[in-house]
Amino acid sequence: MKKILVANRGEIALRVMRSCREMGIQTVAIYSEADRFSPHVKFADEAVCVGPSPSNQSYLKGDRIIEICKELGVDGIHPGYGFLSENADFARAVARAGIIFIGPSPEAMEIMGDKLSSKAAVKKYKIPLVPGSEGAIDNVPQALKVGKEIGFPIIIKASAGGGGKGMRIVEKADEFEENLKRAVSEAESAFGDGSVFLEKYLRISKHIEIQVLCDTHGNYLYLFERECSIQRRHQKVIEEAPSSVLTPELRKKMGEHAANVARSCNYTGAGTVEFIYADGEYYFLEMNTRLQVEHPVTEMVTGVDLVKEQIKIARGEAISFQQEGLAINGHAIEVRVYAEDPANNFLPDIGTLQVYKKPTGPGVRVDDGFEEGMSIPIYYDPMIAKLVVHGQNRADAIAKMKKAIDEYRIIGVETTLDFCQFVLAHEEFTSGRFNTGFVKDHFKPEYLTAPVSKEFEEIAAIIAAVALQQKENELINAAAADKKFSPWKSRLIE
């Protein structure tokens, strides 16, 4: 492959393009009108506007993306995550167009994209499953009967999709019918499929996932685990590798089971197998047939560039290392920097990055897709960046992350940075005892809202205004001095 189109935006598009550039591969960016001045557009060798700002008119327009590939002589498409990354129909269309889809086969996506079919596929490998319904629930009386047999609390899950949509926790029988209707409605709205099923809800549990890498030569490797138990609305906020609770023996056992999950659908490329862990036992949850948001922590502790490996596998190459050659080096933590207000139920806080200064230093990595002066679009996920650190051990990584968060400067929107700092300092987290109920059990919005004097607010507003004015003046001066003044340089002063 000599030219790859990245069918995505923001930080993941940039991250993929950097690995492509290191491999000597040209890149093509696509962008919506909202992303016209985004860093990933400037970084790519070529860039094409794919449509208006809403994703269903731009980043989800598979036919248009394929047309662009044909026009520009693109050899392969990397889908990143989200958007079309797990769309089997798109992957098939890409293959029919004679273009390489850098990911698994459409068949593997379909098997693992449906939680019920994925469970059926892995059964022959005797992988532990959470007690639950055998298939989709068709009616309320049947569902309630199954729920009582499983025992409350239970969780209702959409068969298709993820991200916490179509998911409801039910504590007791008299709350069941209403929650079932809501779950079905959410699933139909989000995925076009209202199928739901039931599982026993393991209240005191951890969310542990295993990174797998598989090629077309029969190699199924696992690159150890990531712990992703710090979540809000069933979505991850802090991830780390390795987990503080796994023994070497359990790590090996879970890794081998994860590899077998990949075998069950003839998987190729990079993927993630997710497990629920409770009291020394673990249960298969699902498989994500794409690169994960939190993949950098695995790269930090293994030294493997997962994007480069994806591309090599898509080219038909065998993985160049064996399971025995992999080892965990130190400890890595990732925090997701969202434009959200944790003090207001983590609701999105859209605005302009009036001040945006990233932390730097040994063992500090920032994957982002924004620059100072840019606005956070309302059309997409409000993640600004992923802040990742690597330390000699877990305590060292926690200390390094706390320092990096202190050095991160963002003015203009509320972010999850203060919340992440709260988590890192909490004894439940530092001890490793935390579980997926951390936010519910230990966090209250008032922890982040100390009273602020009127004088302080006025000073903060002046500082932000001065910083933005200084940036504008710098750009104006640069424009006056540059005979080849580019529209890129004007994006902050329009």
Q: What is the mean pLDDT of each run of 10 residues along the chain (494 residues)?
A: 97 98 98 97 98 98 98 98 97 98 98 92 94 83 89 90 80 92 88 88 92 98 98 94 97 98 98 94 95 98 98 97 97 98 94 97 97 96 97 98 98 97 97 95 84 55 64 54 37 31
Domain with CATH 3.30.1490.20 in the chain: 131-200
pTM of the predicted protein model: 0.86
* Residue 182 is among the residues annotated as catalytic for this protein: no
Domain with CATH 3.30.470.20 in the chain: 206-447
> How crowded is residue 365: how many other Cβ atoms within 10 Å of its Cβ?
19
Contact 93, 63 (CB under 8 A): yes
**CA 260 – CA 273 distance, rounded (Å):** 10
Structure-token match 């877990």, residue found: 394
Query: Which pLDDT belongs to residue 294?
Result: 98
**CA 210 – CA 252 distance, rounded (Å):** 11
Interior angle at CA 232, CA 464 and CA 359, nearest 5: 40
Query: Which pLDDT belongs to residue 471?
Result: 59
Interior angle at CA 404, CA 402 and CA 409, nearest 5: 115
Long-range contacts from 62-71, C-beta under 8 angstroms, 24+ separation = 62/87, 62/89, 62/90, 62/93, 63/93, 65/5, 65/7, 65/30, 66/93, 66/94, 66/97, 66/99, 68/5, 68/28, 68/30, 69/5, 69/28, 69/94, 69/97, 69/99, 70/97
241: closest CA among 206, 272, 210, 279? 210
Distance of CA 317 to the CA centre of its chain: 26
DSSP state of 341: E
- What would the CATH number be for the domain defined by 3-102? 3.40.50.20
Give me the amino acid identity at 339: A
**CA 37 – CA 157 distance, rounded (Å):** 39
| Rg of the chain in Å (alpha carbons) | 23
**CA 10 – CA 369 distance, rounded (Å):** 4
Q: Which of 251, 290, 365, 394 is catalytic?
A: 290
Query: Which pLDDT belongs to residue 477?
Result: 57
The topology (CATH level 3) of 131-200 is Dna Ligase; domain 1 (3.30.1490)
Query: Which pLDDT belongs to residue 492?
Result: 32
Query: Which pLDDT belongs to residue 472?
Result: 59
Query: Which pLDDT belongs to residue 279?
Result: 86
DSSP state of 294: T
**CA 149 – CA 138 distance, rounded (Å):** 16
The topology (CATH level 3) of 206-447 is D-amino Acid Aminotransferase; Chain A, domain 1 (3.30.470)
> Phi/psi at 235 (nearest 5 deg)?
-120, 145
**CA 243 – CA 241 distance, rounded (Å):** 5
**CA 136 – CA 3 distance, rounded (Å):** 43
Domain with CATH 3.40.50.20 in the chain: 3-102
Supply 230's token pair. Answer: 């710090």
